[in-house]
Amino acid sequence: MFNLTKLKIAARIPAHIINIVDNNGHVRSTFLMSTLSHSHVIQIAKSVIPPLHHGMHKGQAGRVAVLGGCQEYTGAPYFAAITALKVGADLSHVFCTSSAATVIKSYSPELIVHPVLDSLTAVTEISQWLPRFHSLVVGPGLGRDEQLLEIVSEVIQKAREQQLPIVIDADGLFLVTQNPDIIRGYTNAVLTPNVAEFDRLYERVLGTKQDPSEPIAMAKELSKQLGHVTVVQKGSHDIITNGDKVLVCSEEGSPRRCGGQGDLLSGALGTFLFWSKQAVDSNNESCGIDQCGYTLCAAYASCSLTRLCNKMAFRENGRSTTTTDMIAQISKAFITLYEKN
């Protein structure tokens, strides 16, 4: 085991060098890190958030789609979709199996739920909706049914053709591990593996096990081998890289790791990816997003928000903290990070 405490400086101060130290106090790895401080990246994130005004119409702040949800797993797509709304998207859709739709609808009247994922015409029906969306979140509650995975593979290809930003998590990562080419070279995609998912994906793509003493180097190498797809390696510190640039998010969270926390991150990313890409597409150079890239900016903003939600929820609920408690903190956490001077 390695102590990653010193990774904090990469996100907190304009540090050039960062060390990873083993439990005996010996420096095992030294990395040249981004010179962007935590406050600098947060400021960039603030600048891409669309200001609210009375002239806006429904949909301008984001239309996000979640691809996932089956009979066994209905909570995950709900967590992702409702988070996209709570962060600030205007509309949030869920494309799930017919057996999951009624359950997911019952969780919230604010979600638009399509019971088509297991239909014979799933690819056609979902593809017709894709031009209306600003981002796609793939994987929460998807399951590993071969037919569903084949459908999702085809939908990802359709989304790529339209240059739609894609977040891939959970069983979506299982799909990528089975066939890395479905996402290889698509730089509008963000993968969000946890430790176990990262290990499996790394071994599949590079043909060898990763070196846990070199987490940043391993994340960068995986991203490069996938054609500079952005990778968010979740852990005690979140390592975010496109193979060239690296950001490390060490916003304080809590010791509590509740099921569904990753779905919250995925939903937040769905919204922030649109906002960040919109800043790039509008040539908003003043926001400074070119300093880190739009996918890294969105990922860092989402990781910071998720961690602060976790911290706030844990402060109130302690060991009994669940993802529902974290979602209840999104408004306060968002204001703290992105709306206070």
CA atoms within 13 A on the CB side of 254: 23
What pLDDT, in 10s, does the model give residues 94-113?
999 999 999 999 999 999 99
Helix or strand or coil: residue 50? Answer: coil
Q: Which of 13-17, 142-146, 323-327 has the lowest mean pLDDT?
A: 13-17
Say if residue 62 carries a ligand binding annotation: no
All structural domains of the chain: 42-339 (3.40.1190.20)
- Res 116: pLDDT: 98
Residue type, 91: L
Q: Kindly state the average pLDDT of the residues 318-337.
A: 98
Say if residue 204 carries a ligand binding annotation: no
Residues, the chain: 341
Say if residue 263 carries a ligand binding annotation: yes
Q: Which of 48-62, 85-99, 135-149 has the lowest mean pLDDT?
A: 48-62
- Res 28: pLDDT: 39
What pLDDT, in 10s, does the model give residues 109-125?
999 999 999 999 999 99
Residue type, 292: C
Say if residue 307 carries a ligand binding annotation: no
Closest CA to 123 of 146, 149, 99: 149
What pLDDT, in 10s, does the model give residues 226-280?
999 999 999 999 999 999 999 999 999 999 999 999 999 999 999 999 999 999 9
Q: How many CB atoms lie within 10 A of CB 309?
A: 30
Say if residue 106 carries a ligand binding annotation: no
Q: Report the Cα–Cα distance between both ends of the chain, in Å, rounded.
A: 39
Say if residue 297 carries a ligand binding annotation: no
Say if residue 199 carries a ligand binding annotation: yes
Say if residue 228 carries a ligand binding annotation: no
Tokens 């992702």 found at: 80
Residue 1 confidence class, pLDDT cut points 50, 70, 90? very low
Say if residue 243 carries a ligand binding annotation: no
Q: How far apart are CA 130 and CA 116, in angstroms?
A: 14
Say if residue 292 carries a ligand binding annotation: no
Asked whether the beta carbons of 17 and 33 are under 8 A apart, the reply is yes
Say if residue 258 carries a ligand binding annotation: yes
Say if residue 47 carries a ligand binding annotation: no
